[in-house]
């Protein structure tokens, strides 16, 4: 349910996140280079508050060291990863793909779950 709500929020991309990320995030950009760019621009992984709820792809990402994974939809192959800047502002990055090597950025906004 929370993933459905989060996916609905993808539609409302805020000007703040768009202004700060349009220079280094691109749709269909491979996830690993996108993550490096996010971190290089001062965003820090926002660790999942309850990793016990993770299963499937999100659990695999979490175990691989991507502690910022919030959740993944099992049926549509979309994951949400969350970051915060030093001011406490949020950045949610939506990636699509079933395996880490194939994941690409599909969207982003400034609303953390």
Q: How far apart are CA 43 and CA 53, in angstroms?
A: 24
Ranges assigned E (strand) in the chain: 44-45, 69-72, 78-84, 90-96, 104-109
User: What would the pLDDT profile of 54-108 be if each residue is shown by its tens digit?
Assistant: 998 999 999 999 999 999 998 888 999 999 999 999 999 999 998 899 999 999 9
Whether 13 contacts 92, CB under 8 Å: no
- Quick one: what percent of the chain has pLDDT higher than 90? 65
Where do we find the tokens 């919030």? 70
Q: Is 4 helix (H, G, I), strand (E, B) or coil?
A: helix
Could you tell me the pLDDT band of residue 39, with boundaries at 50, 70 and 90? very high
Q: What is the pTM of this model?
A: 0.80
Domain count, the chain: 1
Taking residues 2-8, what's their average pLDDT?
43
């Amino acid at each position: 349910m929370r993933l459905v709500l989060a996916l609905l929020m993808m539609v409302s991309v805020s000007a703040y996140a768009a202004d700060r990320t349009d220079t280094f995030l691109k749709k269909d950009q491979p996830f690993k280079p996108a993550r490096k760019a996010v971190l290089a621009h001062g965003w820090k992984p926002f660790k999942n508050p309850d990793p016990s709820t993770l299963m499937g792809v999100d659990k695999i990402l979490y175990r691989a060291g991507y502690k910022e994974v919030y959740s993944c939809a099992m049926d549509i192959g979309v994951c949400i990863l969350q970051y915060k800047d030093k001011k406490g502002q949020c950045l949610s990055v939506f990636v699509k793909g079933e395996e880490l090597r194939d994941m690409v950025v599909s969207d982003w906004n400034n609303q953390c779950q």
